[in-house]
Amino acid sequence: MAVSVAPPDGPEGAQARPWHVLVYRIPSEPTRLRATVWRRLKGLGAIYLQNSVAALPANANSERALRKLRHEITEMSGTAVLMLSSVLAGESTILSVYQEARADEYEEILDRCRDFLAGLEKEYAANHFTYAELEENEVDLAKLQSWFDKIITRDEFGAPGRDTAHDSIAACSQALESYAARVYAEEPEGH
């Protein structure tokens, strides 16, 4: 007897993408344990399907990270199960939530880029062109670029805002190059 399985909802003819799903329970006290797990999942880019049920697109990196987190949860006297799952119905909803999370991260990048550029403008307004300030701004831009790279790595579906965030990072880099040129021009002779 043949059994018919309904295709997943999504683009016509598309295969359902597998997801890693972590279902966990953590003791209610101390509350810092819950916060630790929440921060870790947020840092991985996971989305919550409901309380204590988080998902990431299935790949080797997400499996490794969630296995590690599962181990940490059990060491907190909690319980955790990691599953590989295909969405039978509602995949468009999960993809939408995942895309929205990435778009929010790109928006945060844009906010930080605006802050970075405003900081450089303050230095120009104050006529403050020092190597120490240049180094501090280089560190800030490197952190911003590293964060952007992490988001791109987990943005498996090309979320809205990616190109705009990329362009904003490039604008920050160009602005820093201009600031550096000004610092070098202000350098006293003989140094």
The model carries a pTM of 0.81
CATH architecture of 18-88: 2-Layer Sandwich (3.30)
Residue 37 near residue 73 (C-beta atoms within 8 A): yes
Q: What pLDDT does residue 12 have? A: 37
Q: What pLDDT does residue 14 have? A: 47
Residue 20 near residue 82 (C-beta atoms within 8 A): yes
Q: What pLDDT does residue 96 have? A: 93
What residues of the chain score a pLDDT lower than 50? Answer: 1-14
Q: What pLDDT does residue 15 have? A: 58
Q: What pLDDT does residue 147 have? A: 96
Q: What pLDDT does residue 7 have? A: 39
Q: What pLDDT does residue 5 have? A: 33
Location of structure tokens 């988080």: 54
**Residue of 122, 109, 189, 103 whose CA lies nearest to 148:** 109
